[in-house]
Amino acid sequence: MKITCIDDARSYERVLYALRSLPQGKAVRSYVDDVKRDLRAFYHRPEGRVKIITADYDNGWQLITLAAKTKEDADAEFNALYYRDCVPSPYDCTGQMFTVSTSCSSATGAGWHIITSLWTFKEENTMINNETIIYELCNKYQWFTCGSVRQYEKALTMSKGGVPITELARVIWICSDEVPYFDILTAISTSGYTENKNKEERVDE
């Protein structure tokens, strides 16, 4: 095989994801090693602008070097060339990678760079996105300043499971300093957070 463009790379990424369900015999492991080797060669080619920071079958982080000279142009370049949209389909789209979050920065004299987080499309991805939403809200509004690291990790795990917004907001409120409960509730409710309707909501006694 020879990967010559981003479409080839994405196709082989989907193949790698699909191979997870097969028995991991010698032939499968050998093929996977070959694909990974070619993907690394493609992404790390001298003219390549995309560098993989970390990646596995489910998610990953990439560093993208942009040609843009301003923040506005960098955003436009990324959205036009590198942003991966999640496109639900009536057909099987398992393995489709999509962009979850980005962070844009500039190093003096070195242009603009974007670090992007990618997830693999599967049924529970709406819940995975919940975790990202709550993480970003906590950073934006300085929530959870009174909680421990372990409590924070548990709250993110709760969000990933799609617990009711009222329950999650209560947990964050208890572990935050001088933040009104209804401010937290409103922020989560308007953030795109998705409750897991398959879970039975607890009723306070």
Q: What is the pLDDT of residues 74-107, one digit of tens each?
A: 888 888 877 777 655 544 455 566 777 777 777 5
> For position 126, what pLDDT does the model report?
46
In this model, does residue 190 exceed pLDDT 70?
yes
Q: What is the dihedral of CA 152, 158, 160, 164, to 10 degrees?
A: -130
Its pTM stands at 0.39
In this model, does residue 132 exceed pLDDT 90?
no
Sheet-wide strand order for 97-106:
50-55, 59-65, 112-120, 97-106
The residue to which tokens 């479409």 are assigned:
7
Q: What is the residue-averaged pLDDT of the chain?
A: 75
Q: Which residues contact 7 (CB under 8 A, 6 or more apart)?
A: none
Rounded to the nearest 10 degrees, the angle between the axes of helix 125-141 and helix 165-174 is: 30
In this model, does residue 152 exceed pLDDT 80?
yes
What's the mean pLDDT in 24-47?
79
> For position 1, what pLDDT does the model report?
60
What's the mean pLDDT in 145-162?
86
Model confidence at 168, in pLDDT bands (50, 70, 90)? Answer: very high
Model confidence at 57, in pLDDT bands (50, 70, 90)? Answer: low
